[in-house]
Amino acid sequence: MQLLIVEDDDSIAEPLIDGLHREGFETTRVATGRDALDADQPDLVLLDLGLPDIDGKDVCRELRDRSDVPIIVVTARGDEIDRVVLLELGADDYLVKPFGFRELVARIRAVARRSGSVGTADRPDGEQRLGRLMIDRRTRRVTIDDVEVVLTPKEFDLLSMLAEDPGAVRSREEIMDEVWDPHWYGPTKTLDVHMASLRKKLGDPHWIETIRGVGFRLGMPS
């Protein structure tokens, strides 16, 4: 997944880019609004509002006028924006400095998933086969033994996320951030309800294993 990082502060941009590369993302970094507008279109834009040449809000609006590229806005604490203004800007999400790197990565993946952006480096695209299970992210279809399993959008997103790294444990917090929203304030029991429904539809509870006190992982039933 190609990210455009629009950040004029080297002390922020350089460690951020190093971390994103470790997560498997490709990045292009620019330091001005003009360079951001002149850059090739990426899969997602991480846009700092405090730019030296053009107001970051104007950059956001112009990027949105040109395309549907997902945009995550970064703002300083003294320059916080509410959701109404965020929508007016055309952004998909926002972060307030200082922010945690883990939260940033979760939001990038969540926005990419919701927008349908292709290809984070750790998420297979198109068809992915795991034994009897086949997941087609392009058509959002799931089959087991070539028989289609009809899932709700959230159930598909849950299965797709767990299948990104089969056998790896994904924490409850990470799942909520990616599949729901980093700003989700509803009951976390909704995750258990969706997981129970997904297990039932897959026909074998061993497809999704609960790791008590941690989260869930995708198993491979014999």
Tens of pLDDT, residues 117-138 = 544 434 445 688 888 999 998 8
The pLDDT score that the predictor gives to residue 182 is: 54
Q: For the chain, give every domain's residue range.
A: 2-115, 127-218
Residue 69 CB-density burial (10 A; 0-12 exposed, 13-18 middle, 19+ buried): middle
DSSP β-bridge partners for residue 74: 48, 95
Backbone angles phi, psi at 18, to 5 degrees: -60, -45
Are the beta carbons of 170 and 161 closer than 8 angstroms? yes
pTM above 0.75, yes or no: no
Give average pLDDT by consecutive 10-residue segment, the chain, 222 residues.
94 92 91 96 92 92 90 74 69 83 84 63 65 89 94 90 88 83 61 92 92 90 72
pLDDT in tens, 186-199: 556 788 899 999 99
**What CATH number does the domain located at 127-218 have?**
1.10.10.10
Greatest Cα pair distance in the chain: 60
The pLDDT score that the predictor gives to residue 201 is: 95
Are the beta carbons of 32 and 53 closer than 8 angstroms? yes
| Angle value at C-alpha 10, between 122 and 69, nearest 5 degrees | 45
The pLDDT score that the predictor gives to residue 180 is: 76
How far apart, in whole angstroms, are the C-alpha atoms of residue 29 and residue 4? 6
Superfamily, domain 2-115: Response regulator (3.40.50.2300)
Measured from the Cβ of residue 63, the count of other Cβ atoms closer than 10 Å reads 24
**Fold: same for 2-115 and 127-218:** no
The pLDDT score that the predictor gives to residue 133 is: 93
How far apart, in whole angstroms, are the C-alpha atoms of residue 182 and residue 153? 18
